[in-house]
Structures are given as structure tokens and as C-alpha cells.
A = this chain, B = another copy of it.
Amino acid sequence: MNAPTEISVPGRVAVLGMGLIGGSFALALSAADAEATIVGHDPDAEGLAAALERGVIHEAAGSAEAAVAGAGLVVLAMPVDLIPAACRALAGHVHPNAAVTDVGSAKLDVVTAGEEAFGGRFVGGHPMAGSERHGIDAADPELFGGAWWILTPTEQTSSDAYARVRALVGSLKALPVALDPSVHDALIARLSHVPQLAASALVSTAAAGGDREELLGLAAGGFRDVTRIAASSPELWVAILRSNRSAVLEGLGGLRDSLADLEEMIAAERWDDVREYLAAARTARLELFARPDPPGEPVTLAIPVQDRPGLLAEVTTAAGRLGANIEDLRIIHSTEGGQGRLEMVIAGAERAAALAEELRGLGYRVEELPPGVESYG
């Protein structure tokens, strides 16, 4: 007989960093799980006291080490450039059974440091939600609702830690999706970090024109939209850019080339090329935020496996390759030890079948459970 592993939110959760994301995480978790005890820490004593006073956290710890003591889950929500050092500092203090995750917006450096400190129990994470506001006062329990939350499992990641973090993310109403840390960093550079720099550069260019400053008030809605994120915190962004420097430089190079192409077309009055360029961007933009196709009926795939390192990375990578989104995922352990089972829910029978075939090609035994049947366990 198998018994499902406990994948619900662990009782005691340490949140390190009481900024917008840490505070919003704590509020969302309290809303999702009334039983959770959330202990917070922040080197800014005033912010920490405010978080406790506002009921964002249940307990305020005087140090990061004290906060993580006895916690079943540790969430690193400090500025992203401080996470590697925090991992090193906490390596001997986190409970051996605890899962550790983070919310940093760059992942390769963080995951490397996290795995050095915590091994397979570290699961990198990045909620794709934010605001140009920041600090505990902007914390919002709804911040993650409907937002993507990228998780970056690797070959080292323990299936159990992954399943726990994934369930947690789902309980906050976010949409978990798994990506390789390097793929994440390159993608986010282009979707977030480079647009951020472009917004700042557009404001600088507009303001540096030498015309009377009040004329900038003539800016219409388009400029307002394009530059809204330029009002974000410079401190926060320097931390992000430091942590994703090489991917950001690559992305900036791409933007520079793209703008140079446009400049050349306009200078040479190659208007057909300009039109084609703008039309391609328009199509990409419209498709980007188009409603996705209906996902189709959920099909569960069950894979008997050892809880061995590398499994999750292999499975999620295969799913990604085929465009099959993993709607749900859990690990069923055998109480007799040895053989366990990974079950995941894929939307759409066609994609589920394609993924099953792909995984069989990789040497897994895969059962397709009929729609509605979630487990034979």
C-alpha cells in the first residue's frame, strides 16, 4: 500500500526579507493556510516591526539563523544579489528535512549557491509578479494570483522538495512552470530586464532633449505605458542586473542590433522593410497576449520511479520540449520503501500521449490514466 506524501504547506515557514515579494508571500500564505506559522526576518528592524504589527508575519526573528530554526520551509526573499551569501550563511542552520526556495529574478547564480548549501532540497523560484511600488507597505496577498511562478529544478533537485514547493506555489493561486535556470535567465533578461533598461533610457532620452521640461507633460498614453516601470526602485534593479549581468548584456546587445536595423532602414528610406518589421512585431505582440487555446481535458501520467535525482529535470524538460504544460504534479511514495510513483496532470489527451511516448523513449514506464482518474494508489 502506498500513502500520499504530505505535500501541504509545512507548519512553520521562515520568510527572510520583508519587501514587496516577501510580505506579499507571507500574506498570501496566511490566506491560503490558516494553520501556518510564519516567522519573518529582515535586517531592517523597522520594516520587520511593521510587518509584525500589520500581521504580515506571526513572529519576528532577531536573525536569519533564528528564523530558519525548526522551519519546514525557508523562503529567501531578500534582494537577489544577497541570496548566494545567505545560502552560504544558513547552510548549517536549516533543518535537514526543510525545503528551501527563493524568489530571486535571476536564477543561475542563486541555484548554484543554493545547491552547494542545501543540495537537492533547494528549489529555485521566481514569481512573475511585481509592482513599481516596493516595500512592506505595498505587500498584497493577491499579488501572485494568476501569475506565472517559474521553478528551476535541476538534475540535483529532490522530487519531494520540488513537489512541496510546487504545491505551495499552487496554493497561492500562482501558475507554476518549470525551466532550466540558464534558460530562465536568458528569457527573463529579454522579457523583463532589458525592457526595464529601455524604459529608463527612453525617459532619459526624452528628458535630455534640451526643450523646456514642462513640455514632457505633453506625453500621451503610449509614453506613459512604455515608461511606467522606469519608476521602479533603482536599488532593487541594480541588485537584479548584478545577478543576471551576462544575460542582460546579451539581451541589450540584441536590442541594440534591432534598433540599429531600424535606424538603417529609416535612414535609407526602406519603408517596405520598416513596415514589415513593424508588422512582424505587431503579430508577435498580439499572439503574445492572445488567449491560449483551450487546454483540453486533463490526463494523468503515472511513472513508477525511484526518487532519484535528475528525474524531475528530465520530465519537466521533456514536457517543455513538447509544449505540454504540467497542470499538477505529485510524488506518491511507497510506504514499503524503494519504488515510488510520480503522477502529473497534462491538459489535453494529445499532448499527454506525446509526452508519454517521449518519456518511454527515455526509458520510463509510463501509464496513462483515463481522464478523471487521478491515481491508482
Contacts and interface: CB of A to CB of B under 8 A. Distances in A.
The bracket for how many chain A residues form the interface is 35 or more
A45 interface: no
A202 interface: yes
A193 B158 CA distance: 50
A210 to B, nearest CB: 9
B204 A130 contact: no
B199 A226 contact: yes
B323 A227 contact: no
A44 interface: no
Contacts of A232: 278, 282
Contact of A128 (B218, B237, B256): B218
B150 A218 contact: yes
B198 A202 contact: yes
A229 B276 CA distance: 16
Contact of A263 (B234, B253, B289): B253
Nearest to A230: B285
A186 B216 CA distance: 12
A190 interface: yes
Given A177-B218, A259-B201, A284-B207, A228 B230 contact: no
Contacts of A186: 209, 211
B198 A238 contact: no
B218 A191 contact: yes
B206 A190 contact: yes
Given A222-B229, A227-B195, A229-B226, A255 B201 contact: yes
Contacts of A320: 212
Interface string A7-35: 00000000000000000000000000000
B278 A266 contact: no
A306 interface: no
Nearest to A228: B225
Contact of A288 (B217, B241, B252, B267): B217
Given A226-B199, A227-B195, A205 B266 contact: no
A229 B200 CA distance: 17
Interface stretch (A88-96, A243-251, A335-343): A243-251
B231 A282 contact: yes
